[in-house]
Amino acid sequence: MAGATSPTTALEVTRGGGFGFVGAAFSTPEKLAEDLTFVRDSIPDLGNQPLPIGIGFIGWLLDAKEDVSKQFIDVVLENDVRAVWLAFGDDVYRWIEYVRSSPANARASHKPLIFVQVTSVEEALLAAKEWKADVIVAQGTEAGGHGGATTPSTFTLVSEILAALPGDGAPPVLAAGGMATGSQVAAYLTLGAAGAVLGTRFLLTTECPYTDAQKAALLAAKSGSTVRTMALDYARGTYGWPERLNGRGIRNKIVDEIEAGVPHEIVQEKYKKGTEANDADYMVVWCGQGVSLMKEIKPVKDVMAELHTDIVRQLQKTQGLLDD
Ligand SMILES: Cc1cc2nc3c(=O)[nH]c(=O)nc-3n(C[C@H](O)[C@H](O)[C@H](O)COP(=O)(O)O)c2cc1C
């Protein structure tokens, strides 16, 4: 989650039994190198194992600055990171190829796994069959942050992708979008997903770099408080997203005013002032539909423990359906 994760959040997710990613899209190669040194120094007994976190990039942003993007990926390769996550571009394969062919890859002691987040069956087939991605992340419409403007629910998309990619040799498919509880994760595991990706759940953690005001807006959110829209990007002046995408966040006056035709520059000014003043009407708070089930800010460690207990309990309960 670009702008909403830190090396500490990713590390704590991994320590808690998951696999943490840092969204690096708005970072710099220098800052990313510092972050990766911090992670390595935080795991003194790592030896020559790969760094047990992943780094995420956004395709169209990589396309926009080719030289810097290559530096970013080389930093990942030089630091022996376990996985790279790519999403949201018109030419994601170009960056997969760069990960695989960079001279820094030849020098790396471990080759990173390549996760590709997709928002349609067609993209999943491309990523699995043509690009040979190691892991497919199927992101449904409930997901927070950016995603497909016409993508179906996570349940439908995961089912469609599993049907289109049957059999041995297909990469694992992870479900992403709308999950707040372990019971929901268990539902996707019983559906056939190899795992689940949760983003929004980690916004309400003590380690998340969201501001207190953004976290308060998340705590106040109810069912129906979020919307898929371009308005939040227009307020921030981010215009480069491929057309088939938009973003899910809390609906507030930014969205109302853009929808009512208020010129972007006026809303941008209000967004700037609103963010400085912690005014919930004019902040941008990306989050998924699962936010309505989240009631507390907790350390990542506690979220991981709670999810784990809930997943196991729910799977055991499901197993009980088969008992006489
Ligand atoms: C604040 C925020 C930032 C995100 N940034 C990225 C990103 O940089 N790259 C990406 O591929 N997905 C990004 N996502 C989407 C996540 O990868 C994931 O699909 C989503 O969080 C899963 O749905 P959930 O938020 O309902 O758990 C972001 C999501 C959020 C909430």
Kindly list the domain boundaries of the chain, sorted by start residue: 7-205+296-319, 212-289
213, 283 in Cβ contact below 8 A?
A: yes
Mean pLDDT score of the chain? 96
173-186 pLDDT tens trace: 999 999 999 999 99
Instruction: Tell whether ligand 1 has an atom less than 6 A from the beta carbon of residue 23.
Output: yes
Domain 7-205+296-319 has CATH 3.20.20.70: yes
Percent of the chain with pLDDT over 90: 95
**pTM to 2 decimals?**
0.97
Q: Is the CB of 25 under 6 A from ligand 1?
A: yes
- Cα angle: 160, vertex 186, 158; to 5 degrees: 10
Ligand 1 atom index nearest CA of 137: 19
List pLDDT tens digits, range 59-94: 999 999 999 999 999 999 999 999 999 999 999 999
Across 4-8, 246-250, 254-258, 288-292, least confident range: 4-8
7 lines ligand 1 (CB under 6 A): no
Query: Is the beta carbon of 148 within 6 A of some atom in ligand 1?
Result: no
C-alpha neighbours within 13 Å on the C-beta side of residue 256: 8
Cα-to-chain-centroid distance, residue 283: 20
Closest CA to ligand 1's atom 30: 145
Sheet holding 145-148: strands in order across? 145-148, 245-250, 226-229
Note the pLDDT tens digit of each residue in 262-313.
Answer: 999 999 999 999 999 999 999 999 999 999 999 999 999 999 999 999 999 9
What pLDDT is attached to residue 27?
Answer: 93
CA-wise closest residue to 289 among 191, 145, 148: 145
CA of 71 to the centre of ligand 1 (A): 23
Please tell me the distance between residue 287's alpha carbon and the centre of ligand 1 in angstroms: 8
